[in-house]
Amino acid sequence: MSPLTPPPVLVPEGLSQDLAAFAPAFVIFGAALIILLWEAVVRPADKRVFMGFSLTAILVALGLNVGVAVEDRLGFSGMVSFDAYSVFFNSVFLISAALSTLLSHDYLERVGVRIGEYYSLVLFGLFGMMLLGMGADLMLLFVGIEVMSIAFYCLSAIKRTDARGIESGFKYFIMGAFASGILLYGVSFVYGATGTTSLQGIRAAIEGGVHGGMLGLGVAFIIAGFLFKIAAVPFHMWAPDVYEGAPASVTGYMATGVKAASFAAFGRVLFVAFLGLKDDWAAPLMVIAAVTMLLGNLVALVQDDLKRMLAYSSIAHAGYMLMALVAVDAESVGLNGQVSGLLFYLLAYTFMNLGAFAVLTLMAGDRDDLTSIKGLAGLSTRNPAVAAGLALCLFSLAGIPPTMGFVGKFYLFAAAVRADYVGLAVIAALSGAIGVYYYLRPIVVMFMQEGGEPLSIRPTAASVGALAIASAAILYFGLFPSQLIELCQAGVLSLVG
């Protein structure tokens, strides 16, 4: 053999299947890079092409994600998990990104942000979310969290002349980096106690009898890190400021996509790695869920700004979803019944919240976001279609039938009752009743008050399209939820396998 012969290339087993299953994420990552170069080299004057290109990439990825059947498996040396759970969550992220992209362009033009990299950051954030949905190892989950978060730090401050946007981006950055540090410290303790960072490996180690203070401390730190990301009490204080200061299109994406991705990873970590310790983490999480929904709903009551109200309501919704994580039996049958409500509710929340944010982007003035509830007065006579769409989204957020939000809430509350958490379900129902009041207030203003000085609402085709898609989904899945519920259950079953 001559010394110049290259060494044989070792191809890991199943690499081609791994690459095929990972294709949706590749499409998104590639599209983000292309936009980055496109904007740097060509710098097209009309940024609408980027919107079209992003939407195409997202739809292709959605088609690959849903259309290509993948058998449940761990890919890339156990780093990535391909299963019904990851397919479901990837679809949620892709839908959230598609709707946000759709309502971005006209809004950004109006507030004077003409930056093509915006779309590339949206896609990088989406790529991070997809890593969070698929990650089967704490190492990949950490990278996913950071890829997602760094994109959102930039997105929040994308309007470089807006002091509030920069402040929001910076607060998000400091809080996010601090939370990552705490999460990582927890990961290092769990690694120290179990000798592995793979979720399956941690589970095996815990079943094999690993226990003690170091493991407990690690689990507590990891949970605290995730609670930061989903903005649960007592780690919620960044959320209202960041949500209010960031551009409306970014806030909508952040409140739906980032929350769904954090819950996806949180759920996988709790149920794959730490299910054996359920008795230890369920009780504190239950208290946090109850306090989160009460506080979110109570503070939302007194807000006069629609955007800030939706920020606090987003905290309250995180509380409802935490309830699904708590209301779980250690046996896999219980896991299926209760946790699938979380998946359903996250998709419902994506549609109803982004629908509401589509209207918020329409309310934006030429300079700043003007989103006071009073500005909605008389909207029903000026733009009946927009008013009806917003009303439907708010009804759904409040959990009034026949909307998707009602089915989701019913599903969550029923699961909590079935798992014998009746007290938690009662608190959830009470705080939900508080929620009805502040969700109905904008509707009353829209339909029953004539405006003193109404805001100029200039509907554009893309934003109204996003609102229409969200409204159609809210109604359709509110009336015919059974197929979607089966998908959610399949997702959770694949998790416990």
- Site residues for another protein per CB under 8 A: 139, 142-143, 146, 150, 153-154, 157, 160-161, 163-164, 166-171, 173-174, 177-178, 180-182, 184-185, 187-189, 191-192, 195-197, 237-238, 240-241, 244-245
Angle at 56 between CA 55 and CA 57, to 5 degrees: 90
Give the residue with the Cβ less far from another protein, 33 or 479: 33
Q: How far is the CB of 142 from another protein (least distance, A)?
A: 7
* Sign of the dihedral through C-alpha 482, 483, 488, 491: positive
Q: How far is the CB of 128 from another protein (least distance, A)?
A: 11
Give the residue with the Cβ less far from another protein, 167 or 329: 167
Q: How far is the CB of 86 from another protein (least distance, A)?
A: 21
List the beta strands (DSSP E) in 33-185: 73-75, 80-82
Q: How far is the CB of 35 from another protein (least distance, A)?
A: 18
Q: d(Cα 353, Cα 147) in Å, to the nearest integer? A: 23
Q: How far is the CB of 262 from another protein (least distance, A)?
A: 17
Q: How far is the CB of 395 from another protein (least distance, A)?
A: 28
Give the residue with the Cβ less far from another protein, 31 or 148: 148
Pick from 346, 349, 347, 335: nearest CA to 489: 335
Q: d(Cα 242, Cα 156) in Å, to the nearest integer? A: 8
Strand partners, 198: 137
Q: d(Cα 146, Cα 188) in Å, to the nearest integer? A: 17
Give the residue with the Cβ less far from another protein, 174 or 444: 174
Q: How far is CA 19 from the centre of its chain?
A: 25
| Beta-strand relationship, 73-75 and 80-82 | antiparallel
Q: How far is the CB of 147 from another protein (least distance, A)?
A: 9
Give the residue with the Cβ less far from another protein, 40 or 448: 40
Q: How far is the CB of 82 from another protein (least distance, A)?
A: 22
Q: Angle 332-363/259-268 helices, nearest 10 degrees?
A: 170
- The full DSSP string for 315-375 is HHHHHHHHHHHHS--SSHHHHHHHHHHHHHHHHHHHHHHHHHHHHHHHH--SSS---BGGG
Give the residue with the Cβ less far from another protein, 51 or 230: 230
Give the residue with the Cβ less far from another protein, 115 or 166: 166
Q: d(Cα 287, Cα 309) in Å, to the nearest integer? A: 23
Strand partners, 135: 80
Give the residue with the Cβ less far from another protein, 83 or 137: 137
- Do residues 297 and 436 lie in contact, with contact meaning Cβ atoms separated by under 8 Å? no
